[in-house]
């Protein structure tokens, strides 16, 4: 990638010039447009799951179905509508369906659901309410697993979640959408301590391995794994039973994993898409993606138009003298956003961070970043660098040296 480089920051096109002699190539599969609309992708996935028959054949009209939903999915209303329609084709009416979302999740997606599915029940998981928890089983390691009661008592479970990268389980979605996400408060806090900024490899990380075991203890939930595309697009949908989770990971890596041959001293990490759908975790993932390959002491430019709310962990960064002090404080605390905050600290300790965002300049500075606003400021960083790497949609990417 050299010469004029164009990319999206939020929904706005930016362009900079990277001289050929400075450009570090990002090796990954070329981006291709999605093969179909989100509606058709999820409909086809339900009709032709990976290694399984259509979902409806596993259902009876008397079933009570719980859908575990990632409400941050692009086109979430369309995806859900297709799942509801497929359930109805099996005789499962909307009144027998509950959509379960993780703690603190927005329910704005409800406004996108057609009136014909208005009888669907909704629930936001509350890990502090013991009455809303039920004992599932014990793992081989002896952990007594308590999960959301609606989930445990359902006749059938569908997981409609996005695949991605995660600093606790290695890969987000599917297994981790159940455990630890829908566990009790103590487990959620404890598991969040299994933080790693490293890239996941072939062997499952301990948290994902345990989550996979718990998924089987839950029965045979049906996975609908959404692979995101550029911006707010849906690239693929992979459906099937839990043993199809590996296929979802393979396709996630095929779409979003890449390598570079050498370390640049400047990494430009862009974040595209509707800023309203982004979280601080997305910005932290973009920063960490850049930090994994930047030269120690180099520079990272994170480009977004978003200003997502800052949780307790992110706020603790603002009140720390430096990223190292913030990281030490976070190892002793258990805020829900601790993994994201630790990712941010990892990046800020690795390189100088420049941030284009919707935050006021003083907030960016308190996050130990230098605020920037325009493509011309990014161009000045490029002009001062010797080797430059651009990572489009860095919040969804996993880039390593190799």
Q: What is the pLDDT of residues 68-104, one digit of tens each?
A: 999 999 999 999 999 999 999 999 999 999 999 999 8
Regarding whether 325 and 242 lie in a shared domain, the answer is: no
Please state which of the ranges 70-74, 157-161, 184-188, 282-286 shows the lowest mean pLDDT.
Answer: 184-188
- What integer pLDDT is reported at residue 332 of this predicted model? 85
Regarding whether 130 and 194 lie in a shared domain, the answer is: yes
Regarding whether 67 and 204 lie in a shared domain, the answer is: yes
Regarding whether 193 and 102 lie in a shared domain, the answer is: yes
Query: CA-to-CA distance for 57 and 80, rounded, in angstroms?
Result: 19
Q: Stretch 175-193: mean pLDDT, rounded? A: 90
Regarding whether 271 and 139 lie in a shared domain, the answer is: no
Nearest to 390 by CA among 40, 42, 14, 23: 23
Does 109 score more than 70 pLDDT? yes
Query: CA-to-CA distance for 229 and 255, rounded, in angstroms?
Result: 8
Regarding whether 333 and 269 lie in a shared domain, the answer is: yes
Q: How confident is the model at residue 142 (pLDDT cuts 50, 70, 90)?
A: very high
Regarding whether 241 and 132 lie in a shared domain, the answer is: yes
pLDDT digits (tens, 9 = 90+) for 11-49: 999 999 999 999 999 999 888 889 999 999 999 999 999
Query: CA-to-CA distance for 249 and 255, rounded, in angstroms?
Result: 10
The tally of domains found in the chain comes to 2
Q: How confident is the model at residue 202 (pLDDT cuts 50, 70, 90)?
A: confident
Regarding whether 127 and 194 lie in a shared domain, the answer is: yes
- What integer pLDDT is reported at residue 60 of this predicted model? 96
CATH number at residue 245: 3.40.50.11440
Regarding whether 104 and 213 lie in a shared domain, the answer is: yes
- What integer pLDDT is reported at residue 190 of this predicted model? 85
Regarding whether 202 and 68 lie in a shared domain, the answer is: yes
- Buried b / exposed e over 216-225, threshold 16 CB at 10 Å, is ebbeebbbbb
Does 2 score more than 70 pLDDT? no
- What integer pLDDT is reported at residue 249 of this predicted model? 96
Q: Which of 223, 254, 285 is the last residue of a domain?
A: 254
Pairing of strands 164-166, 170-172: antiparallel
Mean pLDDT over each residue of the chain, to the nearest integer: 95
CATH number at residue 321: 3.90.226.30
Q: Which of 236, 254, 272 is the last residue of a domain?
A: 254
Assigned domain for 33 exists:
no
Residue 395 has, within 13 A of its CA and on its CB side, a CA count of 27
Regarding whether 163 and 73 lie in a shared domain, the answer is: yes
Query: CA-to-CA distance for 136 and 142, rounded, in angstroms?
Result: 12
Regarding whether 210 and 126 lie in a shared domain, the answer is: yes
- Buried b / exposed e over 376-388, threshold 16 CB at 10 Å, is eebeebbeebebb
Q: How confident is the model at residue 176 (pLDDT cuts 50, 70, 90)?
A: very high
Query: CA-to-CA distance for 301 and 383, rounded, in angstroms?
Result: 13
Domain, as residue range, for 10: 3-27+261-401
* Model confidence, pTM: 0.95
Q: Stretch 130-156: mean pLDDT, rounded? A: 96
Residue 346 has, within 13 A of its CA and on its CB side, a CA count of 25
Query: CA-to-CA distance for 37 and 233, rounded, in angstroms?
Result: 9
Assigned domain for 387 exists:
yes
Q: How confident is the model at residue 1 (pLDDT cuts 50, 70, 90)?
A: very low
Assigned domain for 32 exists:
no
């Amino acid at each position: 990638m050299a010469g004029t480089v164009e990319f999206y920051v939020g929904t706005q096109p930016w362009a900079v010039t990277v001289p050929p002699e400075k450009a570090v190539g990002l090796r990954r599969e070329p981006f291709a447009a999605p093969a179909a609309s989100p509606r058709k992708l999820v409909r086809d996935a339900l009709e032709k799951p990976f290694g399984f028959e259509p979902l409806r054949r596993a259902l009876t009209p008397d079933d009570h179905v719980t859908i575990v939903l990632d409400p941050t999915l692009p086109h979430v209303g369309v995806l859900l509508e297709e799942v509801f329609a497929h359930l109805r084709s099996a005789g499962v009416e909307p009144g027998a369906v509950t959509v379960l979302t993780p703690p603190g999740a927005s329910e704005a997606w409800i406004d996108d659901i057609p009136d014909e599915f208005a009888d669907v029940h909704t629930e936001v998981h509350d890990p502090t309410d013991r009455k809303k928890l039920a004992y599932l089983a014990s793992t081989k390691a002896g952990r007594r697993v308590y999960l959301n009661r609606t989930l445990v008592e359902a006749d059938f479970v569908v997981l409609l979640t996005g695949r991605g990268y995660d600093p606790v389980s290695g890969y987000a979605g599917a297994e981790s959408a159940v455990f630890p996400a829908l566990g009790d408060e103590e487990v959620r806090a404890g598991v969040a301590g299994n933080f790693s900024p490293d890239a996941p490899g072939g062997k499952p990380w301990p948290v994902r391995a345990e989550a996979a075991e718990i998924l089987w203890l839950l029965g045979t939930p049906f996975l609908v794994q959404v692979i995101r595309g550029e911006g707010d697009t849906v690239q693929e949908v992979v459906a099937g039973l839990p043993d199809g989770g590996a296929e979802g990971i393979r396709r996630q890596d095929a779409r979003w994993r890449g390598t570079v041959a050498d370390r640049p001293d400047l990494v430009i990490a862009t974040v595209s898409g509707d800023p309203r759908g982004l979280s601080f975790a997305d910005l932290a993932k973009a920063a960490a993606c850049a930090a994994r390959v930047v030269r120690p002491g180099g520079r990272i430019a994170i480009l977004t138009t978003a200003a997502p709310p800052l949780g307790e962990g992110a706020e603790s960064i603002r009140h720390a003298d430096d990223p190292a002090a913030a990281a030490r404080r976070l190892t002793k605390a258990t805020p829900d956003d601790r993994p994201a905050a630790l990712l941010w600290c990892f990046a800020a300790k690795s390189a100088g961070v420049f941030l284009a965002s919707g935050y006021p300049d003083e907030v960016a500075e308190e996050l130990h970043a230098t605020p920037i606003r325009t493509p011309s400021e990014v161009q000045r960083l490029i002009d001062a660098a010797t080797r430059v790497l651009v990572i489009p949609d860095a919040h969804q990417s996993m880039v390593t040296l190799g």
